[in-house]
């Protein structure tokens, strides 16, 4: 299963809200097990695109939208 979330898509599914919460350091419960919280190994959480559950290992990888003109 591919858990990457495309940030270029509209915010109709709440992915952008989830991403913003994670990058701001807010504790977000795992969507898979509902027991753990998403964490990252990045030194600067504001630049992280990969978060994983500290209990079950479920991960979310966000794909940043890049526009080149």
Contact (Cβ atoms closer than 8 angstroms) between residue 46 and residue 59: no
Q: Report if residue 68 sits inside a domain.
A: no
Q: Report if residue 46 sits inside a domain.
A: yes
Contact (Cβ atoms closer than 8 angstroms) between residue 22 and residue 30: no
Query: Each residue of 16-47: pLDDT tens digit?
Result: 788 889 989 999 999 999 999 999 999 998 88
Per the structure, the count of domains in the chain is: 1
The gap from C-alpha 40 to its chain's centroid, in whole angstroms, comes to 9
pLDDT of the residue at 15: 67
Q: What is the C-alpha to C-alpha distance for residues 54 and 8, in angstroms, rounded to an integer?
A: 27
Q: Report if residue 69 sits inside a domain.
A: no
The gap from C-alpha 55 to its chain's centroid, in whole angstroms, comes to 16
The gap from C-alpha 29 to its chain's centroid, in whole angstroms, comes to 11
The gap from C-alpha 52 to its chain's centroid, in whole angstroms, comes to 8
What percent of the chain lies above the pLDDT cut of 70?
A: 74
What pTM did the predictor assign?
0.69
Please give the residue range of the domain that contains residue 19. Answer: 4-63
């Amino acid at each position: 299963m591919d858990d990457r979330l495309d940030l270029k898509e509209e915010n109709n599914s709440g992915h952008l809200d989830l991403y913003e919460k994670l990058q701001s350091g807010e504790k977000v419960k795992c969507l898979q097990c509902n027991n753990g919280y998403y964490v990252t190994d990045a030194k600067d959480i504001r630049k992280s695109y990969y978060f994983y559950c500290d209990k079950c290992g479920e991960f979310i990888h966000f794909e940043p939208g890049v526009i080149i003109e």
